[in-house]
Amino acid sequence: MDHQGQFRRAALALGVPDDEISSFIRHLRLSIRLSSGSDGVPVGQFGGLPRLPLDEDWPSDQPGPLPFIFSVDCAALPRVDGFGLPAVGSLLFFMDHENDYLASATGEQRYARVVFVPEGTDTSVVEPPDSEFVG
């Protein structure tokens, strides 16, 4: 679906000048909302245990494991031109929300990780190294 094209056509129909539309579109960012309760096919998982590649360690912020937040099956998402998602495989998101929020002021990024698992990779469900921390 071409959201920027739809926006441009609607704005033109309302008489907004094309150069203003182009300027505004440069600042638009696509957002995909993940939620439960839809009648569609699930494209991911909130919480639980991730399926990590067999040779992949649980992501850590040194000193401890990062909590697993959610995963997304990229092949199940609608394709959007210019968004840059891998076509096949899964993205696994790990984050220590509290420490990441506090570190964001300094630009530090050690409290969040995204792991890409290409389709066809041998994986297994993995328990966190320290489940009391990740709990």
Confidence (pTM): 0.63
pLDDT tens digits in sequence order for the chain, 135 residues long:
467 788 889 899 999 999 998 888 877 765 656 665 566 677 888 888 999 999 999 988 777 888 899 998 887 776 665 556 656 889 999 988 676 555 555 666 677 888 999 999 999 998 888 655 444
Q: Which helix (H) or strand (E) holds 113?
A: strand 112-117
Instruction: Supply the DSSP string of 44-95, one letter for each residue.
Output: EEESS--EEETTPPPPB-SSSBPPEEEEEEGGGSPP-TTS---SSSEEEEEE
